[in-house]
Chain A
Amino acid sequence: MRRRDRSPIRFTIVLAAVLAGCEHGAPFLPADYTPSQPYNAPPLIRLTLNPGDDMMPAWLPDGEIVYTAERIDRADHDRCLAVMPGTGAAVFRYVCRSSTSNDSLDVFLEASATSLGGDQIAYVRQGSYRLPIPPISPNEQAIIVAPVTDPNAGREVRSVPYLAPSGRTHWGISHLRWLDAARLIYVGEDVSYPRGCSMCPPDTVRVGLEIAVIDLTPATPTVTIVPGTDAASSVSVGATSDTIYFTRENDAVVYRHVFSSGVTDTVHDFGGNRLVRDVAWAAGRLFVVVDGLPDIGGDVHILGPAAGADSLVQPPARARGAFVWFERPAPSPDGRRFVAQGYVLASDTSSLASSREVWLYELP
């Protein structure tokens, strides 16, 4: 009996397996063309070079940086939220009301998203219609709470302006912070638009009135005023939601308020004719903006963690005859870095920059 020749069957099976096992080629894919490194080396890293205003940076829970970026590539110059890696490099996400220029100026400000707030981001959203004669104040303004992953999918928790329980009208909001997962704390402001002369363009003057807390738990969020915080100019949340730190207009003191005891005391007095403009807390340290100029910023002093410790942040730029004044410092949760908006100035304090930029400073 002749043996059956199985070699052709085997050959067929092997050839089929070889054909099926080979990987296919693939179509072309675009590379990643964006910068992966920050613009310059630490300790003072310039995160943005945008000719427009970049302001109010903050940290996201996963270590990324969010700030408000003026989109000069749009005809209406929307001010959108921008998100970039925590070490600097290229923005990888913008959050705007629409993806293109439209008929309104949309502004996203005061973004705050911390571990205290959970996976939520809170921010102030403004809108102004683009008219031949532009409006002075926003046509609409509100506090928005949304998922961090989709800030546009949020809900309006408080429209602005509104009448606060104190009897004052809050025309603006600043220093929006998460007190805990269900409450936000901020500075309620009075906003006015004085003109230096009848034909001069109006200026925007924001003056802090008091610190307010909004409770998101009820179906209609409720606002309460923190007692003893008249003329507050900034606020920051401490180690727990029971403690806040704040400053007052035209003052040289950093205050602390404890909710459970209702006590407000002085943490640090810079004394003399000094002026504190801003305060932020992280990891036992206070980052305080001192002196400088309104709407420009000032020097950053770091208080703590040891009692009485006060160190002045000295960016190396000062040595070259130019320096940066900061506003709105936002320290990282470990307190080893902070981001802030800043102006580059010459040693005689004349401005060298046309706009605010976002900076990252790494403590030594």
Chain B
Amino acid sequence: MTGALAAQTNGSIVGHVRQRVGSVPVSGAEIGLDGRFLAQTDSTGYYRIREVRSGWHVVTVRSIGFETVRRDSVLVRAGQNTVVNFTVDVYTIERPIVVEAYADSILDPTVVASVQRIGGDELRRFPVTTVAEAVALSAGAVGESYRGGRLGQQAFVLDGLGVKNQLDASTGGLGVRIPPDLLVEASLATNGFSARYGQAISGLVNVVTKDGGERWSGRAAYESDRLLWGAADMGQDRMVVSADGPLGGGIGVVAVLDVEGKLDADPVNAPPPPEARDPRNNNPAMLPHNSGERVDAGAKLRLPLGGSHSLRLFALRSVEQRLLYDPVYKYDTDGAPGQRVSGNLVSADLQRASNNFTADLRAGYFSREFERGTLAEQPRYRFGAFTGSPFRFTGDELARSQDTVAARAPIPGLTAPDFSDRTPWGVPAFFLGGGSAGGVAWNQFHELRGQADFSVGGPHGDFYFGGEIARQDVKTFQRALGYLPVGDSVPPAEASTFTPMSAAAYAEGQLRGPDFVFTFGLRYDQFDPGTGIPGGAVYGARRSFSPRLGFSTILKGATFVASWGRFSQAPDFQYLVDAAFDDTLRTGRFRRGNPNLGFEEATQYEFSLRTRPSPTTTLRVNVFNKLLDGMVASVPLGVDPDSSIFGNLDYGDVKGVEVIGERPLRDGWGVRVSYTLQQAQATATNAFQLTRRIRVDPGGDTINPARVTFPLDYDRRHGLTVIGQTQLSRNAGPRLAGIRPFAGFEAAVIVRVSSGLPYTMTNLAGDSLIGLPNSHRLPTLATVDMLLRQPIRLGGRWQGSVYLDVRNLLNRQNVEAVRRETGQPNFTDAQIQQMAETAYAAHPEPIPYESPRYRSYADLDGNGLIEGRTELFPLYLSAARDYGQPLFSYGPPRLFRIGIEVLF
């Protein structure tokens, strides 16, 4: 029976050694991995090497009386068993042979988890730029929602160390990004994953980074859309420099720098406006004040300490800063907000790895800082969208000092906005300028984590155990409407400082029978808000036990897996403290924090069938049902919506079927097709939504309250993803002028078709629902992405390529949001008319010649006054049309990148 359940950074290498003549097993043969002999074959000629780090390795077999055989380029994936079989001759001449080894997680019953992988080389071949985009190709993924989980409910594991933005993952993201050039592989596990990584309601994103190779190699790449024009030029630049290699003494180093700037970091594909005077009419592609730049820098050092010990040191820093377009500030962009997120991760991993026992001691420090507000000064662009200096925000010193007393007064530097006079229409309506919304938000999260993992292996089973402890430090500050003093409708500033602690322990075993594998695990989690939160000390630590069970067997050439598991996840710490925010879209601007929040929980059942219809194709079918409970939502305490408090009151379930068929790239082509049918229901999509209840009243009786759920905002019923790739040989194509211009040409196409997300219809006034919540559907979404790459020979060890990356190749205007009262992306003519009438009634006064609002084209009688309905109202109508453009109802437009790279 093949190898064991693997840790998240490691796989196993298994196989048989047989004589060429007669296929007689060779017992007692020594098996070496990268120069160290770690295992021996048993009487059946079988061997197994456990805890092999994901990546490329050299496997050698030697035995007295037989030739020594070495197999280069053995690729091991995390959590997989790579089969390498040897056939040896009775000679002693050393002769290296290159053979392709293969991993078979499809038919391997020890692989209980539902895992979808993408390798570092695939990231380079596919039209994806980041790890998040790559993981989003997985079946069951709706953006960063996996199998119906909310944003932020995924766990992130980097080289075996858990990393989590425990403060505000649901609204803020992780804060660090792994440069794709640092990756060996990234995978998404949606069920059945080890009890070692239990804190994930939705999915586990596992990333394994490179170790420095035995030879120096590197890459420098630059991609941009500068050569293009019109809507194809969106102001993108990206530069990547990476290198890895030996430093001597067995020390390996990897370093990557990945920077990107976009003049429009969130482009829209909305139709151009009909008004000729609207400046967007001639240039609908890019939005102003919407630029962004990011820097990701990572480095890793691997130091062998002798014998089976090694030390890995890793450092990562990510910074991203964005200007955020706000339609209200279309003509006075200085009032629109900006945002900056920076993250640092430093970790160390001391490992002792032998074939029967592996121990990892890990320590990690993670920090993240978030700021959002009005910029103190507008940035200067030095090259493309790169400013080269950090954003500074008005009030940031006050926010960092968390001085809520001083924050009761208006924040110096913030001014109240007024109606803009810089619009083509001039009238005081809809658009603001001269000030900002006045919000100031800042938070800081630090975590020091220690983790110990052990694995013990034997011929019939493996046992894993370990634990972790993490101490966190949280500081937050929020102020809304900062240009006004606190009072009346302006909530006070909120700040918090607390030091929570989390801890976990786990034990997991896997027993292997002749034709089955039984996996069982138990995980203990706890989190303690600490004493910094009012009430935190009273409630103390929350605890949870999460068992896992899995059974797999092979039936008629297919592997059947049944698994059941309970998963617990601590809520975002932001829900433990008060939140003050200026939000015109939701009800109220204040939520009370609840230090008594407990774990969010899920129980998932899954049945999987995996088979190989042919030697080069695989087919996987997963059927799952996940029950959600204790999700955080907002609970009204009274009539005033601002009195809502966070509570563990949301519940729901997610059920679905995933079908994944794949033919890996072989003989010049490969394809992967994944289809997901999924239903995700609960009562609230995120914690800021109020929980919804309805009273069911059949026959006059009232049932109160009904345990009713509704489709979640990311309940995507049908999802189809087709990935096709081709790679021509080095001799392909015609010969022109002595060279073959298409030799080695690569192409990859990703086609995505999915049903639209649900939305809630309301009446025109917006105060009554039409039908149940989320009972209507947006139109179907479809995109085609493509990457074409042509290698270039540069001589010697140097290679290069030019490539063209196109997203949304067909420039489809995918509708991603509609107005609830009409079901259409844009306002109706009647709504525009009503908006204009209301605005005109509020300001019917004439506009004189000297006013900055005066527009000569509207002064029909030329008397120096725009007055009366005849002259004024058409301006309000045009302003309403301008304001009502459905900019964010559509997905991104077609985006091009032309790139060149040099590799050695």
Contacts and interface: CB of A to CB of B under 8 A. Distances in A.
A24 interface: yes
Contacts of B264: 27
Interface stretch (A42-50, A108-116, A318-326): A42-50
Given A12-B794, A26-B263, A30-B423, A50 B802 contact: no
Contacts of B331: 30
Given A51-B848, A90-B854, A100-B416, A27 B288 contact: yes
B222 A20 contact: yes
21 contacts: A9-B795, A12-B792, A12-B902, A18-B227, A19-B224, A22-B224, A23-B226, A24-B263, A27-B286, A27-B288, A27-B290, A30-B330, A31-B424, A39-B849, A47-B850, A49-B863, A51-B865, A88-B850, A90-B850, A99-B415, A100-B416
Contacts of B843: 73
Interface of B: 222, 224, 226-227, 229-230, 233-235, 237, 263-264, 279-280, 282-290, 330-331, 384, 415-418, 421-424, 426, 428, 434-435, 792-796, 798, 800, 802, 843, 845-846, 848-852, 854-856, 863-865, 898, 900, 902
A22 to B, nearest CB: 4
A15 B800 CA distance: 12
A51 B863 CA distance: 12
A39 B863 CA distance: 9
| Interface of chain A: mostly helix, strand, loop or mixed | loop
B286 A33 contact: no
B851 A50 contact: yes
Contacts of A92: 852
Interface in A94-119: 98-100
Given A4-B795, A33-B424, A19 B900 contact: yes
Interface residues of A, number: 45
Given A8-B800, A28-B280, A51 B846 contact: yes
Nearest to A11: B792
Nearest to A32: B422
Across the A-B interface, give the 4 residue pairs with the lowest CB-CB distance, nearest first.
A22-B226, A27-B286, A27-B288, A25-B233
A51 B845 contact: yes
Interface string A71-101: 0110000000010100011111000001110
B220 to A, nearest CB: 9
A91 B290 CA distance: 30
A5 B794 CA distance: 8
B285 to A, nearest CB: 7
A19 B851 CA distance: 45
Contact of A49 (B850, B855, B900): B850
Contacts, number: 140
A246 B883 CA distance: 55
B850 A48 contact: yes
A185 B859 CA distance: 43
Contacts of A35: 849-850, 854, 856
Contacts of B237: 20
Given A20-B224, A50-B850, A72 B263 contact: no
A91 B428 contact: no
A219 interface: no
B898 A19 contact: yes
A20 B226 contact: yes
Contacts of B792: 8, 11-12
Contacts of B233: 24-25
A26 B231 CA distance: 10
Given A73-B428, A90-B850, A99-B434, A29 B845 contact: no
A16 interface: yes
A34 interface: yes
B227 A22 contact: yes
B435 A28 contact: no
Interface of A: 4-6, 8-9, 11-12, 15-16, 18-31, 33-35, 39, 46-51, 72-73, 82, 84, 88-92, 98-100
Contact of A27 (B283, B416, B849, B850): B283
Contacts of B289: 27
Given A11-B792, A24-B226, 4 more contacts: A8-B792, A28-B288, A90-B850, A99-B418
Contact of B286 (A20, A26, A84): A26
A162 B846 CA distance: 39
Given A25-B235, A91-B852, A5 B422 contact: no
Given A12-B800, A28-B280, A99-B417, A90 B851 contact: yes
A72 B898 CA distance: 55
Contacts of B856: 35
Contacts of B863: 49
B900 A12 contact: yes
Contacts of A50: 848, 850-851
A31 B279 contact: yes
A39 B864 contact: yes
Contacts of B282: 28
B309 to A, nearest CB: 43
A171 to B, nearest CB: 32
A37 to B, nearest CB: 10
Contacts of B800: 8, 12
Contacts of B802: 15
A16 B286 contact: no
A35 to B, nearest CB: 6
A80 to B, nearest CB: 12
Contacts of A47: 850
A99 B237 CA distance: 40
A359 B264 CA distance: 46
A98 B483 CA distance: 10
B863 to A, nearest CB: 8
A311 to B, nearest CB: 29
A10 to B, nearest CB: 10
A358 to B, nearest CB: 8
A30 B227 contact: no
Nearest to B287: A27
A99 B796 CA distance: 68
Given A25-B285, A28-B282, A99-B416, A9 B798 contact: yes
A24 B852 contact: no
B482 to A, nearest CB: 14
Contacts of B864: 39, 46, 49
Contact of A25 (B286, B415, B417, B865): B286
B93 to A, nearest CB: 34
Nearest to B844: A73
B886 to A, nearest CB: 17
Centre residue among A22, A25, A72 by max chain B CB count within 10 A: A25
A84 B849 CA distance: 12
A28 B283 contact: yes
Contacts of A73: 428, 843, 845
Nearest to B285: A25
A30 B289 CA distance: 13
A18 to B, nearest CB: 7
A84 B852 CA distance: 10
B384 A24 contact: yes
Nearest to B799: A8
A30 B855 contact: no
A339 to B, nearest CB: 13
B850 A89 contact: yes
A78 to B, nearest CB: 12
B900 A15 contact: yes
Contacts of B279: 28-31
A70 B843 CA distance: 15
Contacts of A16: 222, 900
A132 B434 CA distance: 31
A98 B416 CA distance: 8
B226 A8 contact: no
B226 A84 contact: no
Given A20-B222, A30-B423, A100-B416, A91 B850 contact: yes
A175 B315 CA distance: 69
Contacts of B852: 34, 90-92
B141 to A, nearest CB: 31
Contact of B793 (A8, A22, A34): A8
